[in-house]
Amino acid sequence: MRRVACALAALGVLGCERAATPSIPAQQSALEQAAAARTDLRPVVAARIAELEAQLASAPPPALDAARLEQLDGLLETLAGADERLKRAAREDLRSLGPTSVARLGECLDDTSSSNAVRIAAAQALGELDHPLAARVLLTRLTAGRFTRDPDPWLRAHCAWRLGMGTQDWVVPGLLLCLRYETNNEAVIYIARALAHHRNFSGLDALYVVSRQDPAENLRQAALGALSELASAANFADPADLYRAWKDGDERLLDAPFSPAHELEVWRILKLFGEWQLRPVDDGRFVLSLEHHKVTPLLVAALDDENRYVRVHAAQCLERLGGRAASAGPRLLELIDDPQMTEQVMLALGALRYAPAEPALLERASPSRTLEIRMSATQALGALGLASSEPPLRGQLAEKLPGDLRPALLGALVGCAPANVSVQEARELRSFMVGGEVDSAAPELALDSWLIHRASVDEGSRAVLEAWRAIKGADSRERVSLRAQALDPLLGS
């Protein structure tokens, strides 16, 4: 069952692949020559990784002798039993062993010949240690379903539960990656809870999916319960309010732990952006796009890394962070003409809704610019959503616009001034959505926004919006065809 992973992918957190490298390495391209003018490029990522690894280095704990190993096994049996008084004593004794017990507890966790109760007790003991080594074992076990068939998904749920009880905030990137691939919805619920414990609310999306789509009533109710509890704990009246606040970078959610160990995990992901394995790059962008706002300064620093792919993918992550990366606006604006990432920088400025970027974006959306620059600037202005952008953008409709630029321009007008988009212009967007000349996604999103505005002021449009929203499905061609028909009451056939 991959509903949650598919739903998260549909949110738009997966991006395009990197640009190709120059075909003739010995001959500098124009982009490379222009980039050489930047004197601030340096090994930002590698240097910070080295600093943090030195800071966090520690000697491995000593191994337990045979007597202590036997004692530990006995304590786990007691912890798996029913006597609460003995269990409390066993927990204390296990905690007193500290990190020396981690290796053995990990073995017990993976030992399929042990009883389920003993394996659960091992997960509990690892969680209560609240130590980096213990958290690493739990996180490793949680990822088991990604690489092989895991016969014990219930144990993944227990590991996620325990990762949400301590102070090891560095597990957040790993939990986010698990959220992408987890197929057991009980584990999904506990991953979302663990993330929220560390003040990351990206798991709310997954909880909504489980609450609506899981065939088991108990799991749907568990997801609804988690949504309610997380909202209440964060001092929000409703989960939807918490969800919007998280997406918008609300200042009420700015507090979060962000330890040096957490920072190191982020830098290690950024390092992967400079390599050639596409899956880790894609996974890394997914994870960092769902991180807390405190990742923003790290991504901004990575914009000065010597590796062009690190810079470009860091800008992509800032774009997808949206409101949580608002503080990146000034630096992105400074880099708007960096030829190796200018288009991505403009898209990020729009997604961050950084209003001071409007004049620069309008200039780059003008006919004097190349098609690629105009496209990115136009899309960015639509995301920026300022009414003051509408007149200069609308003035371009009289041009004979090349390529995908006309549907992009119409979509931008919806973003800037939906009330001024005419029925004829909406009809043109519908034509682009179903015509096959351009990708249907952008016109479909623009029409969705236009309908939301119409429904807010026109009762007749509300029924059309409800019908439009009721049409779902993985087959995009069928969906857009049915949605086009749903628009007939407003636009005509």
Instruction: Tell me how far apart the terminal alpha carbons of the chain are, to the nearest angstrom.
Output: 39
Nearest of 350, 352, 340, 351 to residue 313 by alpha carbon: 340
Displacement of CA 431 from its chain's centroid (Å): 32
DSSP H/E element including 476: helix 476-486
Among candidates 253, 270, 185, which has minimal Cα distance to 219? 185
- pLDDT at residue 401, rounded to an integer: 87
- 339: Cβ–Cβ under 8 A, 6 or more apart, which residues? 30, 31, 34, 35
**pLDDT for residue 17:** 36
Please state the pTM of the whole predicted model: 0.89
| C-alpha span between 222 and 210 (Å, rounded) | 9
- Structural domains of the chain ordered from first start: 74-247 (1.25.10.10), 422-493 (no CATH)
Angle between helix axes 217-233 and 239-248 (nearest 10 degrees) is 60
DSSP 360-388: HHHHHTSTTS-HHHHHHHHHHHHHHT-GG
Residue 34 is inside which H or E element, if any?
helix 30-35
Buried b (16+ CB within 10 A) or exposed e, 438-474: bebebbbbbbebbbbbbbeeeeebeebbebbeeeeee
3 state DSSP class of 323: helix
In the numeric block, the tokens 């732990």 are attached to 257
Block means of pLDDT (10 residues each) for the chain, length 493 residues?
45 35 37 59 97 96 93 94 92 93 96 95 96 97 86 95 96 97 96 97 97 96 98 96 93 90 98 90 97 96 96 97 95 95 97 97 95 96 98 93 91 97 95 91 95 91 93 85 93 76
Q: Is 66 exposed, middle or buried (0-12, 13-18, 19+ CB in 10 A)?
A: exposed
- Contact, 471 vs 482, CB < 8 A? yes
